[in-house]
Amino acid sequence: MKAGRVVVVGLGPGDPRHVSAGATAAIASIPKRFLRTARHPSAHLALPAETFDDLYESAQTMEEVYGGIVERLTSEARTGDVLYAVPGSPLVAEQSVVLLRAQREVEVEVIPSLSFVDLAWERLGVDPMDAGVRLVDGHRFRTEAAGATGPMLVGQCDSVAVLSDIKLATEAGPPVVVMQRLGLPDELVFEVSWDDLDREVRPDHLTCVWVPGLAEPVASELVRFEELVRTLRARCPWDMRQTHQSLTRHLLEETYEVLEAIDELGSPSGYAHLEEELGDLLFQIAFHAILAAEQGEFTLADVARGVHDKLVERHPHVFGPAGSPMPNWEEMKKSQKGRSSVMEGVPGNLPSLLYAFKLQSKAASVGFDWKDAAGAWPKIREELAELEQAIASSSSSRHDVNDELGDVLFSVVNVARHLGIDPEAALRDASAKFRRRFTAVEALAERRGVPVTDELWDEVKSWQGPDLGE
C-alpha cells in the first residue's frame, strides 16, 4: 500500500471554460491544494492553495524546481489526499507530473483538461497525426529537436532566452507562427521570420511556436555535446572554477596532442587516436564558447556561423558567380579588418618556427619574397658566415651571437617555405628520429655493458627497420 495520494488536475490553456468537469469536481472535494504557479488565468479556480512560485525564484535550474515540487507533494500526501493543479493538461509538456508519476511512495491520479495544443491545432488548421507533428519543450529545444526537420509545435516559449535558443539551434528556418494566450480575449496568432523570432516577439508563459519545417535539422550529436559541456559547467566543481585564462594551457596541450596524433597516422590505431584527440580539442573550443555565452557575448552557434560566413566570403571563386577570380586573401583580410599592415594578423605567441613561417608568408603575399628556394639559399650561407664571425670575435657579446643564430634559423625557414615544407613539422620529425635512434643506442649500450659512444650512434644509424624508419 502506498502512503497517500496526489490528484493532479489541469487548468486548461487559459479560459476557465476549458477546465474539465472532472478537474472541477476534484478541486471541490480536496481541501489541501497546491498550484504549480499562480501565473495562470484559471489559477483562481483552485484557491485557496499554496503555490510553488517561490521555487521558481530561488532555484538555480528547472530541474531543481521540479524536484522540489515532487518532494513537497510526496511529503504532504503522506498525511492525506493532496490536489496539484497545473496549467493546461497534466499530460502535455508537464515535467513535474512526469517526475511525480515516476516516484513510488504515493499514488498519483491524473485528471486531464483541455491543452493548449488542442486550441493550436484548430488555429493552425492542422491534424497533428496526419502531419506527423512533434511536440517539443522550448526549454529543451536544442536536445529534443535534435535531428528533426519538423513540423514541430514548441511549447513553454516563456522568455526571449528560450526563443533565442530555438533560433540559434539551427542555421536558418522558415517563417514560424507564434500563438499567445490561446482562448483568451487578448489571444494573438501571427507569423514572424526565423531571424526575428527573438526580436519581434514579447513572450509570456502562454506562448507557443509552430515550426512548419526546417531545411536543415538540428545537429543532434553536436547539440548533445554542447548540452554536456553546459551541464559540466553548471555541476562539476572543477569546470565551474574555470575561466578563459585558466583554460589556455589546456587548449595548447590538446592542440599539440592533435599534432602528435597526426604524426602517428601510419599506425594501425592512428585514426582512432586522432578522432579522440580532436574530440578533446573540440571540448576546449566548446568550453570557451560556453564561457562567452554566460557573459552574453556569443554562443557556439555564433562561432560556427561566423567562420562559415567568413569562409564563403573569402572564396568567391567557389561560391560566387562562375568565373570569379581567386582573391588575394591577405589583402582581403587587411581591407576587411581595417589593418594598416598584413603583419597585424600574426599572433606573437606562436611557436618560433611557425611564427617566422607566418611572417614570411605574409610578406610574400604582397610581393616581398625570393623567386624560389635557389634565391633564398645563398642567404643561409651569408648568415652562417656572420654567425661564425660573431662566435670567433672577442668583441662579440652573447646578444650578438643570439642575433646571428636567429638570422640563420630565419633563413632556413625561408628555404623550407619555398620548398613547400613546414619547418615546424620537419624539426619535429627530426627530433622524433633523434629520439628513436638515441633510445636504440641506450638499449644497445646497456646490452653490451658499455657507455653511449659515437661508434654506437653510427652503428644504429646504419640499421634499417620499422622502429627506426630510416
DSSP notation for 174-243: --EEEEESTTSTT-EEEEE-STTTTTS----TTEEEEE---SS-B-HHHHHHHHHHHHHHHH-HHHHH--
Does 466 have pLDDT greater than 50? no
Does 215 have pLDDT greater than 70? no
Whole-prediction pTM: 0.50
Work out the percent of the chain whose per-residue pLDDT is above 70.
Answer: 93
Parse the chain into domains and list their residue ranges.
5-114, 118-218, 221-327, 424-461
Does 3 have pLDDT greater than 90? no
CA distance 152 to 149: 8
Does 115 have pLDDT greater than 60? yes
Distances (CA, A) of 450 to 54, 240, 398, 445: 79, 54, 37, 5
Domain pair 118-218 / 221-327, same fold: no
Local structure of 7: helix, strand or coil: strand
CATH class of 118-218: alpha beta
DSSP state of 324: P
5-114 has which CATH code? 3.40.1010.10
Average pLDDT in the 41-63 region?
Answer: 89
So what's the pLDDT on residue 361?
82
Instruction: Render pLDDT for 72-94 as a digit per residue (tens, 0 to 9).
Output: 999 999 989 999 999 989 988 88
So what's the pLDDT on residue 60?
79
221-327 has which CATH code? 1.10.287.1080
Average pLDDT in the 163-177 region?
Answer: 83
